[in-house]
Amino acid sequence: METRNAPPQEYESDDDSYEVLDLTEYARRHHWWNRVFGHSSGPMVEKYSVATQIVMGGVSGWCAGFLFQKVGKLAAAAVGGGFLLLQIASHSGYVPIGWKRVEKDVNKAKRQIKKRANKAAPEINNIIEEATEFVKQNIVKSSGFVGGVLLGLAS
């Protein structure tokens, strides 16, 4: 059986003309990072459609949630594994642990944290107010981000 290559068909369209876009040149000319995240960029609502904002928020949220999940699992495994090894070493007699001293140090750390938390309250309130204002101005993107974080944590 003989195979012949058919000549390429050319599709002509009188109405449509397409322009080839060089993405590297486009990226050089349009500083998208400054437009999206810059201080003078204005509200997102004016620049992107609702669907685009939701997708941008969802993708960035998913990435954050996924990374948070992986880092959280790694940290939990490291802390839990270290504690487990410490307990085994303690019960085997390799490492003596003064539990009264540990309890005293933990209580001291609690008191210090409470003092620092009371001092930092005005700064935290300022950060919360700024975050609330950002969420109000970019509600669509923020809701997409929250949904993405939840999906990232679940995956």
32-49, pLDDT tens digit by residue? 555 555 544 445 555 777
What are the pLDDT tens digits along the chain (155 aa)? 555 555 555 555 555 666 766 666 665 666 655 555 554 444 555 577 777 888 888 888 889 999 988 999 899 999 899 888 888 888 888 888 888 898 899 999 999 888 887 776 777 778 888 888 888 887 777 888 888 888 888 87
Q: Which residue has the tokens 């101005």?
A: 137
Mark 82-92 as b/e (b = at least 16 C-beta within 10 Å). eeeeeeeeeee
Cβ within 8 Å of residue 57, ≥6 positions away: 140, 141, 142, 143, 144, 145, 146, 147, 148
pLDDT value at residue 46 = 58
Asked if residue 107 is part of any domain, the answer here is yes
Number of domains forming the structure of the chain: 1
Asked if residue 125 is part of any domain, the answer here is yes
pLDDT value at residue 148 = 87
Q: Does residue 69 contact residue 153 with C-beta atoms inside 8 Å?
A: yes
**Domain around 139:** 53-154
The two tokens of residue 130 are: 């700024």
pTM of the model: 0.47
Mark 135-149 as b/e (b = at least 16 C-beta within 10 Å). eeebebbbbbbebbb
pLDDT value at residue 145 = 84
Q: Distance between CA atoms of 138 and 54, rounded to whole angstroms?
A: 10
Asked if residue 17 is part of any domain, the answer here is no
Q: Distance between CA atoms of 151 and 149, rounded to whole angstroms?
A: 5
Asked if residue 48 is part of any domain, the answer here is no
pLDDT value at residue 20 = 67
Asked if residue 95 is part of any domain, the answer here is yes
Asked if residue 93 is part of any domain, the answer here is yes
pLDDT value at residue 18 = 64
Asked if residue 112 is part of any domain, the answer here is yes
Asked if residue 27 is part of any domain, the answer here is no
pLDDT value at residue 39 = 47
Q: Distance between CA atoms of 68 and 70, rounded to whole angstroms?
A: 6
